[in-house]
Amino acid sequence: MCCAADEELLLQMYHDLAGHKKASDGAIRSLFQDTAKTAARNLNVRYPTTTVQHATLLINWAFCGGVEQDLGEGLLPFSITHSDQVLAAAVAQLQANHYQNHDYLALMTGSTSITAADAKVMRTSKWFIPVDWEEAEVQLESYTPVLGAHLGETHPNVMEHMAAVTALRTYQAQLRQYVLDKVGYRLRAHYYGLLLPLETPKNWFSDQWRMATVATLPPPTLMHAFTMFRDGYNVSWLPHTDHVPLLL
């Protein structure tokens, strides 16, 4: 998955994870957060605050949902709420993540007593669906260091994602109208946030995992779609969303 020839060449995060014995998700979250922050600094992009859910999904290798339609599952862009967001829904989600991290860490360290049902609620994934273009753009950009944290900053998937985020920013003025015509006003930003997740890492991770190959699958060619749009306003590549319960 990481293009590593042997285990010694794996990312330091995986060596650190292997060194943990019965570590709490809180400790794993801190490790993942530090790795993502370093990736963001090296890639010169914004980074998000990781959550307990991110840590749980990481140690269970649950990078994406069980089926294609599960866009709200796994380590996908919709799992990210960036701290720069100011809309009420984003602020509420950031506060919920903060309290959830705090409560879960208290539980794991034994400094509080709660029921197993409460613990299950804490581990339940919370997803943020952007409601305007700017939120979607920030979400996609700040996903870059998350992708870099578990694949490596120079991984082909990370490079392709960064190039696609830049292309979206470049062509968004024209592309917005096509998206608006396709899905309407209410879903426009949600759909904008789906343009990249439907290809990477969703399909790539599921194929890499399902095929159980020892070779690293090539990354999806996201830039090809934007080249088609630039050269002739071809939007045949825009994803279909009628089968996605999250959007329904």
Q: What is the pLDDT of residue 43?
A: 92
pLDDT digits (tens, 9 = 90+) for 36-89: 999 999 999 888 877 777 777 777 777 776 666 666 667 777 777 766 655 666
Residue-range domain boundaries for the chain: 7-232
At what angle are helices 52-59 and 25-43 packed, to 10 degrees? 100
Q: What is the pLDDT of residue 41?
A: 92
Report the pLDDT averaged over residues 7-11.
91
pTM: 0.77
- DSSP letters, 201-238, are THHHHHHHHHHT-SSPPPPP-HHHHHHHHHHH---TTS
